């Protein structure tokens, strides 16, 4: 199967930190219907505090997983109301989210940017590649796609243990796809927010090409629509711009149609991907749940 896919530090403090290891290993399985299940072992972490003031603290946290290190960046207010595990879109780097991290922290929400595998940042890996991942799947190894979903669940565990608040899976574009699978496979996520996202279209392509057996089962396991209905009764919010030039608006609506209640679909100003208008809309939605900060 082939698919074309579409500042400085003020404090330097290194801490060997995090969850204590239990010797357990993460594992995955895919049932006959193509539904992925994950068992995610606790990970250890190393943390470097980069900045701290009265509004928030920013840290670089490296998750030491059983399949390699994953770099994340966390901004957290002193008394968070909830927390976000954020999966970026293709090529999105931390630099584009500095103001966003402050915006959410000011509103009372911790924001963890996960530098996903193969996204061109600090975490090693390859860009989304179903062919390579299917080879791993066939040999009972870890497809990178499953590793990334597992990373998001491991990040949720870290935030839940540290902050003791609800943790949401949030993602933009390709990241919204990873986040939907993570929320659908990990019932401990409080809910899901998808921005400018949709199915990959890999399953439909596999069906049209006459694939059966393992290729079809694998293709099913990749699609967000396989999981988004499993998030209910936890809430789903999806944001999409009518003018999106990369993932058409109607494709976002189609994925949304598979979600269970409660769910909300919101149009936003702009074109593709998370932006300040989306930030304010998310904060406004959550203010109805957690109240206004201060």
Domain contains 23: no
Tell me which residue range forms the domain holding 255: 47-290
Domain contains 144: yes
Distance of alpha carbon 88 from alpha carbon 6, whole angstroms: 14
Q: What is the DSSP letter of 260?
A: P
Average pLDDT of the segment spanning 189-193: 98
Nearest CA to 293 out of 106, 167, 164, 166 is that of: 106
Domain contains 20: no
pLDDT tens digits for range 219-277:
999 999 999 999 999 999 999 999 999 999 999 999 999 999 999 999 999 999 999 99
Whether the per-residue pLDDT at 115 is higher than 60: the answer is: yes
Domain contains 65: yes
pTM for the structure as a whole? 0.91
Whether the per-residue pLDDT at 91 is higher than 60: the answer is: yes
- Tokens encoding 262: 């409660």
Please report which confidence band the pLDDT of residue 8 belongs to, taking 50, 70 and 90 as the band edges: very low
Whether the per-residue pLDDT at 15 is higher than 80: the answer is: no
Which CATH number does the domain housing residue 196 bear? 3.40.50.1820
Domain contains 262: yes
Domain contains 142: yes
The radius of gyration of the chain from alpha carbons, rounded to an integer in Å, stands at 18
pLDDT tens digits for range 17-48:
333 344 579 999 999 999 999 999 999 999 99
Domain count, the chain: 1
Please report which confidence band the pLDDT of residue 14 belongs to, taking 50, 70 and 90 as the band edges: very low
DSSP letters spanning 23-67: S---EEEE-TT--EEEE----EEEEEEEEE-SS-EEEEEEEEETT
Domain contains 3: no
Domain contains 190: yes
């Amino acid at each position: 199967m082939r698919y074309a896919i579409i500042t400085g530090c003020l404090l330097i403090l290194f801490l060997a930190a995090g969850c204590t290891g239990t010797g357990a290993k993460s594992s995955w399985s895919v049932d006959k219907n193509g539904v992925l299940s994950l068992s995610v072992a606790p990970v250890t972490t190393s943390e470097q505090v980069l900045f701290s003031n009265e509004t928030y603290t920013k840290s670089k946290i490296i998750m030491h997983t059983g399949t390699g290190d994953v770099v994340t960046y966390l901004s957290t207010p002193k008394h968070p109301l909830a927390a976000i595990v954020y999966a970026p879109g293709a090529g999105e780097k931390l630099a584009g989210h500095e103001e966003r991290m402050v915006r959410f922290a000011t509103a009372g929400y911790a924001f963890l940017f996960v530098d996903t595998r193969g996204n061109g940042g600090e975490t090693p890996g390859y860009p989304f590649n179903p062919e390579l991942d299917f080879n791993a799947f066939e040999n009972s190894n870890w497809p990178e796609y499953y590793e990334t979903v597992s990373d998001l669940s491991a990040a949720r565990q870290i935030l839940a243990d540290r902050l003791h608040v609800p943790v949401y899976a949030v993602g933009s574009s390709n990241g919204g796809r990873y986040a939907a699978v993570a929320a659908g496979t990990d019932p401990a996520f409080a809910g899901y927010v998808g921005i400018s996202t949709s199915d990959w279209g890999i399953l439909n392509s596999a069906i049209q090409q006459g694939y059966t057996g393992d290729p079809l089962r694998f293709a099913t396991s990749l699609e967000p629509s396989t999981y988004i209905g499993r998030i209910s009764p936890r809430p789903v919010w999806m944001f999409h711009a009518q003018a999106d030039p990369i993932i058409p608006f109607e494709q976002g609506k189609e994925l949304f149609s598979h979600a269970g209640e409660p769910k909300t679909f919101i149009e936003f100003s702009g074109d593709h991907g998370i932006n300040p208008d989306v930030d304010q809309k998310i904060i406004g939605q959550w203010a109805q749940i957690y109240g206004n900060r201060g």
